[in-house]
Each structure stands twice: as C-alpha cells, then as structure tokens.
Amino acid sequence: MTSSAFLFTLAAMKSLPRLAVAVVLLAASAAGRAQTIADLPDDKFKSLVEKTALYTKALSAARTVQKSYDRYAAWVDMKTGPTGKERSIDGVPDIAGALQEIADAGAKGPGMWPPLGGVDGMAQKLAEATTALAPLVKSASDYYAQRQYKSDGAKRGQELHGQMLPMFQQFFGCELAMRRELSAVLEDIERRYLVQIEKEHGKNYDWHLRSFLLAAKTLADLLPNHADAAMIEGGRYKTRFANLQAAYTLFTQYCLEHPAEVQKMVLSTSLEDFFSATRILRGILDAPKPDRQIYLAKVNDLAAKYDALVQRTTTTTAAQ
C-alpha cells in the first residue's frame, strides 16, 4: 500500500464528539481466526481500506445535514418552532446532495469484507434516517424560499418543525454512533501505515506529518456534530490536546533539523492555523463558565481549519 492511502482515510473526517472504542477484531479468512488490523495480509488490508473509505465518504456527506440543521437552528427557537415574525428568517438548506453517498454506504458497505458489526448496522440506519428526513427538509426549504410563512402565519412551518426535529435527532444519533464505531478502525489503519513508514524509512518527514495528523484526528473527533450538542468535556479535550501538542513539537523540531526534507508549500499555514485553533478552544474550555456562543464559533472555526488541513495534505500527497 502507498503512504498516500493513509491520507485518503483521513479525508472527510469531521470533528465531532467520540468515545474511545476497544480494540477491534476482524473476522479472518477460512481458518476463522481473529486478526487485528496490524496482522492482516496486504490484500485483506486493502479490502478493509476500501470499505472504510466508503463509510468515511458517507460521514463526510453527513456534514451537509449538520450544516442544514445548524443554519435552521441559528434563527428559529428549536423548542417552540417558527413564528414567521423572527428578525431574520434564513430557511432550511436542502440536503439532497448528501443522499447518494450515504445511501451507497448503507447499501454496499455491509456486503463488503470484512464484516464490521456495529459500523455496518449503523451505516444502514444512517441511510434510512437520511432517506426519511430528506423529503421533509426539501418541503421546508421550498416553504421558506417561497416565503409561504407570510401567508399562513407560519402554520405549515410549525408542522414541518414538529416533523423534522425528531428526524434530525434520529439522524444525529445514527451519525454519532457510526462515527464512534468506525473511529477505532480508522485509527488502527493509520497506525499500521505509521509502522510501515518507520520500518521502511525511519521516522522521517512523512512519519512525523502522519503522526501529527493522527493526533489531530483524535482531537477533531471530539467536536460536536450539531449546534445543540453537549459541550466538549474539558478533561478529555486536554488529554488529546496534550498528545497533539507533543506531535506538533516533534514535527516542528524535525523540520528545523532537516530543512532540505521539508515540503514548505504543504503545511506551513494549514498546520499552524489548526494547532492555533485547538489552543484557542482549549482556553475557552478552561473557563469556569464558557460562553456558549463564543464556544460554538470557535468549534466551527476549528472544524473548518481541520477540514482545510486534511484537504491540503491529501491534495498535496496525491499530486506527488
């Protein structure tokens, strides 16, 4: 496997709250033996990477639904629903663009090798939840785009709100459960690449970069998947930030000591921007009573910078 495949598994991963998952055992071949990801033969490992790539695309597509909800929640009182008299009525963005990749994951993923129990089941449930939610969001999107709330006093808006809210919550529950199940598998895949790089080339620039990206991913996994989610637990964030800081220190030190090996065009901005954003959010979480609106703004900023970091490293590596 090429090292660029490692970065492909990182692409589309978004910062949301995750829990540590126990070591994942995969069903082995005809012998029925359980093998860890580190022990899989190359052909089986390739199959695993292809399957998880399908699932990460689905989770990336789920961001469309999250953004739609967040935009809706930004102007409407989610407890009481719309009145049609809000200062700014910003509608509900359609989520049709997310349907295909989520549906593909639910339909194709469970039949691919290896079986991933919880992940396979949640991929199917996420597809079902998205399929059920999409028509409601489309109706709401059209309703607000056509400003029908002005003629019916937001009556239809109230009906749609009551129908959409539980469906959004079902979607977020499925999305979060799928991410939790998949996260440990992805991390084990990435650790296998690190071992491979160290064995073949030592702890070079590529190894330090990927080590930082792995630490970045585990921290980004804590970011909430919608605006009304519970605030990140400070202690857990500090632990993962400490791991990220250690990886960042080693990476920057290596770059200083090996200037000829450094690909300056790749990360000088994206990596520093992401690390700075994590440090800012840590400061906010350290406050006795963090301001909710400031917290959400910095969470969104950190999520955007993580996406930019992954996109930059993935694009640059693919071009080499």
| pLDDT band, residue 21 (cuts 50/70/90) | very low
pTM beyond 0.75: the answer is yes
With contact defined as beta carbons under 8 Å apart, do 213 and 313 qualify? yes
Pairing mode of beta strands 34-35, 26-27: antiparallel
Higher pLDDT, 88 or 2: 88
pLDDT beyond 50 at 233? yes
Q: 74-133: per-residue pLDDT in tens?
A: 999 999 999 999 999 999 999 999 999 999 999 999 999 999 988 999 999 999 999 999
Q: Is 267 helix (H, G, I), strand (E, B) or coil?
A: helix
pLDDT reported for residue 32: 31
| pLDDT band, residue 8 (cuts 50/70/90) | very low
With contact defined as beta carbons under 8 Å apart, do 120 and 110 qualify? yes
pLDDT reported for residue 13: 35
Above pLDDT 70, what percent of the chain? 85
Handedness of CA 195, 265, 221, 28 (dihedral sign): negative
**Average pLDDT value for residue range 41-62:** 94
pLDDT reported for residue 23: 33
Q: What is the DSSP letter of 77?
A: -
Above pLDDT 90, what percent of the chain? 75
pLDDT beyond 70 at 19? no
Give first-to-last CA distance, the chain, whole Å.
15
pLDDT reported for residue 263: 63
Q: Is 20 helix (H, G, I), strand (E, B) or coil?
A: coil
- Annotate 116-150 with DSSP letters as a single string: -HHHHHHHHHHHHHHHHHHHHHHHHHHHHHTTTHH
Q: 200-230: per-residue pLDDT in tens?
A: 999 999 999 999 999 999 999 999 989 899 9
Q: Is 291 helix (H, G, I), strand (E, B) or coil?
A: coil
With contact defined as beta carbons under 8 Å apart, do 303 and 223 qualify? yes
Spatial separation of the C-alpha atoms in residues 203 and 271, rounded to whole Å: 19
Highest mean pLDDT out of 20-34, 231-245, 248-262: 231-245
Spatial separation of the C-alpha atoms in residues 313 and 209, rounded to whole Å: 9
| pLDDT band, residue 310 (cuts 50/70/90) | confident
pLDDT beyond 50 at 138? yes
Burial (Cβ within 10 Å: 0-12, 13-18, ≥19) of residue 200: exposed
| pLDDT band, residue 311 (cuts 50/70/90) | confident
pLDDT beyond 90 at 10? no
**Average pLDDT value for residue range 120-149:** 98
pLDDT reported for residue 262: 75
pLDDT reported for residue 316: 53
pLDDT beyond 50 at 243? yes
pLDDT beyond 60 at 16? no
Higher pLDDT, 15 or 158: 158
pLDDT beyond 80 at 20? no
Spatial separation of the C-alpha atoms in residues 236 and 223, rounded to whole Å: 11
H/E run at residue 97: helix 96-108
Among 46-55, 166-175, 307-316, where is mean pLDDT lowest? 307-316
Burial (Cβ within 10 Å: 0-12, 13-18, ≥19) of residue 76: buried
What's the helix, strand, coil split of the chain in %, to 5?
Answer: 70, 0, 25
pLDDT reported for residue 200: 96
pLDDT reported for residue 30: 28
With contact defined as beta carbons under 8 Å apart, do 193 and 38 qualify? no
Residue 189, both tokens: 């895949």
Query: What is the average pLDDT score of the chain?
Result: 86
CA 251 to chain centre: 24
